[in-house]
């Protein structure tokens, strides 16, 4: 029996609803696990850590989907619902992390995350220490995630066209780069426990390994 267009649309919507339900459960589990793992009486710090690691895990997953298709010999289209949906959850939780993270250290004095109060009035009052670098890269990552969230829909794809949409969507690599720098510097600033450093490092290495493996297959001409 040939499936009609309305049925295909309904089936596609049902699959996306199921995907989002699964991703909601996965996200909740990641957040809950990190909230339990972080030993602190400061709820804002625990929420900041939870959203940071959950967002990173989902961002890594979104970067693994494409190379995994290539390695398995499957077609790797410009956009897939799964990759976009994972990216939506990664972006939403990442933006939440930016908002929560700005409440942790200076308690309302957000400008001092980026401006050194000792250098106000000078030609370059920006923070140039580790704390400043970590916050600047975190803010850049958050802005890129907002851009990616705006692209994660069919309307943007149709309006921009495949080439322009993909060119903008490739900023997900920029988001990952900014996130890695932000996270690595904060590992040093906050002197985090070794197991947090290990979890962070393993996720980064997984993303890098899959990207390199997929790139090699594509360069070899063996990609479908």
* pLDDT tens-digit readout, 159-214: 988 889 888 888 989 999 999 999 999 999 888 889 999 999 999 999 999 999 98
Structural domain span for residue 180:
5-220
Token readout for 172 is 């997900």
pLDDT tens sequence across 82-99 = 888 898 999 999 999 999
pLDDT, position 48 = 94
Query: Whole-prediction pTM value?
Result: 0.86
pLDDT, position 2 = 47
Specify the higher pLDDT residue, 124 or 49.
49
**Residue that is written with structure tokens 């479908």 in the block:** 224
Mean pLDDT within 126-134: 88
Whole-number Å distance between alpha carbons of 211 and 185: 23
- Three-state secondary structure readout of 156-168: HHHHHHHHHHHHH
Indicate if the pLDDT at residue 10 is higher than 70: no
Specify the higher pLDDT residue, 79 or 219.
219
Indicate if the pLDDT at residue 75 is higher than 80: no
pLDDT, position 137 = 94
Question: What are φ and ψ of residue 176, in 5° steps?
Answer: -65, -40
Indicate if the pLDDT at residue 57 is higher than 90: yes
| The total number of structural domains that make up the chain | 1
| Of 145, 148, 142, 143, nearest in space to 168 by CA | 148
Is-contact 59 175, C-beta < 8 A?
yes
What is the H or E stretch that residue 197 is in?
helix 194-220
Mean pLDDT over each residue of the chain, to the nearest integer: 87
| Of 102, 167, 178, 116, nearest in space to 143 by CA | 178
| Of 133, 127, 98, 103, nearest in space to 115 by CA | 127
């Amino acid at each position: 029996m040939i499936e009609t267009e309305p049925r295909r649309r309904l089936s596609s919507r049902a699959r996306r609803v199921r995907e989002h339900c699964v991703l909601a459960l996965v996200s909740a589990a990641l957040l809950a696990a990190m909230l339990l793992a972080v030993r602190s009486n400061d709820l804002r710090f625990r929420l900041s850590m939870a959203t940071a690691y959950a967002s990173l895990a989902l961002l890594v997953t979104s970067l693994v989907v494409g190379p995994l298709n290539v390695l398995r010999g499957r077609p790797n289209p410009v956009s897939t619902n799964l990759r976009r949906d994972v990216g939506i959850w990664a972006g939403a939780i990442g933006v939440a992390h930016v908002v929560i993270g700005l409440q942790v250290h200076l308690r309302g004095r957000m400008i001092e995350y980026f401006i050194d109060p000792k250098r106000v009035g000078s030609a370059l009052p920006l923070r140039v220490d580790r704390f400043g670098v970590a916050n600047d890269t975190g803010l850049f990552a958050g802005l890129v995630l907002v851009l990616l969230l705006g692209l994660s829909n069919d309307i943007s794809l149709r309006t921009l066209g495949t080439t322009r949409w993909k060119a903008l969507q490739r900023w997900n690599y920029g988001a990952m780069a900014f996130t890695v720098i932000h996270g690595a510097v904060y590992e040093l600033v906050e002197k985090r426990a070794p197991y947090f450093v290990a979890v962070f490092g393993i996720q980064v290495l997984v993303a890098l390994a899959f990207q390199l493996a997929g790139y090699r297959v594509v360069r070899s001409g063996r990609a479908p």
